[in-house]
């Protein structure tokens, strides 16, 4: 297995300071992009979506639980499946009560939504010991409208703001491959003004990495994520696929 070069402490400090300048540039750029994200316009939701939760039916407005902001994790769970997606499961495993409390303190609710019936969701939630709110969108257009369930018989397929032709040109057609309907991950953000609900942001594909803490930790280490696409090569004897399921 390849290892980092061995150098003196002074040589390491010099290299670390050089990297620090790049990290500071990245931090400043991230701040600028976050500001651009906050300046995005928003779209009013004019469709009456109905969800099923642990205690019965709920509207999109009710998913806010009285707070100003709502973040919806689009958890991949096809109605025909018995268990949820392993990668979505890995991310959900890292949602602690502390995280939920901190978001609540900033007037923000985090909830998950899947297409599976609520009975399957509740069974899987009990199996995993999770406490966050999780709703079923079964029978509604919600997943299709937010492009996390892809079915050409329902509407032209689009994922991560690219249609089929654009994915083919970009070499990312794998997102649209497989038996339809195809479930994909993502996160969508909403803002409430009284009883009016607005869609402010959605992120898909690798953008979802922000919502699992393990990658943020591993990215600071010498061996990294230990996935087959990373550079430099050879930092692990057991390179994993670029799939954040975190299975042993």
190-196 long-range CB contacts below 8 Å, 24 or more apart?
190/45, 190/60, 190/64, 190/69, 190/70, 190/71, 190/72, 191/42, 191/68, 191/69, 191/70, 192/61, 192/64, 192/67, 192/68, 192/69, 192/70, 195/61, 196/44
Confidence of residue 243 (pLDDT cuts 50, 70, 90): confident
The confidence score (pLDDT) of residue 38 equals: 95
Model pLDDT for residues 78-135, shown as the tens digit of each residue: 999 999 999 999 999 999 999 999 999 999 999 999 999 999 999 999 999 999 999 9
Model pLDDT for residues 148-162, shown as the tens digit of each residue: 999 999 999 999 999
Model pLDDT for residues 203-215, shown as the tens digit of each residue: 999 998 888 788 8
The confidence score (pLDDT) of residue 240 equals: 85
pLDDT averaged over the chain? 94
Query: Tokens 């069974």 belong to which residue?
Result: 123
- Greater pLDDT, 229 or 127: 127
Give yes or no for a cis peptide into 72 (omega within 30° of 0).
no
* CATH number of the domain within which 104 lies: 3.40.30.10
- Are 163 and 83 found together in one domain? yes
The confidence score (pLDDT) of residue 78 equals: 98
- Are 19 and 63 found together in one domain? no
Pairing verdict, β 162-163 and 158-159? antiparallel
The confidence score (pLDDT) of residue 208 equals: 84
Q: Say if 115 falls within a structural domain.
A: yes
- Are 18 and 114 found together in one domain? no
- Are 48 and 170 found together in one domain? yes
> Residue 246 pLDDT > 90, yes or no?
no
- Are 133 and 182 found together in one domain? yes
Q: Say if 242 falls within a structural domain.
A: no
Q: Say if 224 falls within a structural domain.
A: no
Expressed as residue numbers, the domain containing 33 is 9-37
222-225 long-range CB contacts below 8 Å, 24 or more apart?
222/3, 222/4
Q: What is the mean pLDDT of residues 54-58?
A: 96
Domain count, the chain: 2
- Any idea what DSSP says for residue 2? -
Model pLDDT for residues 15-53, shown as the tens digit of each residue: 999 999 999 999 999 999 999 999 999 999 999 999 999
Confidence of residue 216 (pLDDT cuts 50, 70, 90): confident
- Are 82 and 26 found together in one domain? no
CB 188 within 8 A of CB 82: no
The confidence score (pLDDT) of residue 248 equals: 58
- Are 50 and 88 found together in one domain? yes
CA torsion 77-46-199-87 (nearest 10°) is 0
- Are 128 and 26 found together in one domain? no
- Are 199 and 121 found together in one domain? yes
Q: Say if 82 falls within a structural domain.
A: yes
Report which secondary-structure segment, H or E, holds 112.
Answer: strand 108-114
The confidence score (pLDDT) of residue 151 equals: 97
- Are 26 and 96 found together in one domain? no
Between the alpha carbon of residue 194 and those of residues 62, 107, 191, 198, the distances in Å are 12, 14, 10, 11
- Greater pLDDT, 48 or 236: 48
Max CA-CA distance within the chain?
64
- Are 32 and 128 found together in one domain? no
Sign of CA dihedral 12, 17, 22, 24: positive
């Amino acid at each position: 297995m390849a290892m980092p070069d061995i150098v003196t402490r002074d040589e390491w400090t010099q290299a670390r300071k050089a990297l620090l300048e790049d990290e500071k540039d990245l931090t400043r750029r991230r701040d600028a992009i976050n500001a651009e994200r906050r300046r995005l316009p928003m779209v009013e939701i004019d469709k009456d979506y109905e969800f099923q939760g642990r205690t019965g039916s709920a509207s999109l407005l009710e998913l806010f639980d009285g707070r100003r902001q709502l973040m919806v994790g689009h958890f991949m769970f096809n109605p025909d499946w018995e268990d949820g997606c392993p990668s979505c499961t890995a991310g959900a495993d890292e949602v602690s009560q502390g995280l939920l409390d901190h978001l609540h303190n900033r007037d923000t609710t985090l909830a998950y939504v899947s297409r599976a019936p609520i009975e399957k969701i509740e069974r899987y939630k009990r199996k995993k010991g999770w406490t966050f709110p999780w709703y079923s969108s079964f029978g509604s257009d919600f997943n299709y409208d937010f492009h996390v369930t892809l079915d050409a018989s329902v509407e032209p397929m689009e994922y991560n703001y690219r249609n089929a032709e654009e994915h083919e040109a970009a070499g990312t057609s794998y997102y649209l491959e497989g038996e339809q309907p195809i479930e994909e991950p993502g996160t969508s953000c909403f803002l409430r003004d009284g009883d009016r609900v607005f869609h402010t942001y959605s992120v898909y594909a690798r953008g979802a990495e922000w919502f699992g803490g393990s990658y943020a930790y591993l990215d600071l280490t010498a061996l990294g994520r230990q996935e087959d696409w990373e550079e430099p090569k050879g930092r692990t004897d057991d390179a994993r696929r670029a799939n954040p399921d975190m299975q042993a």
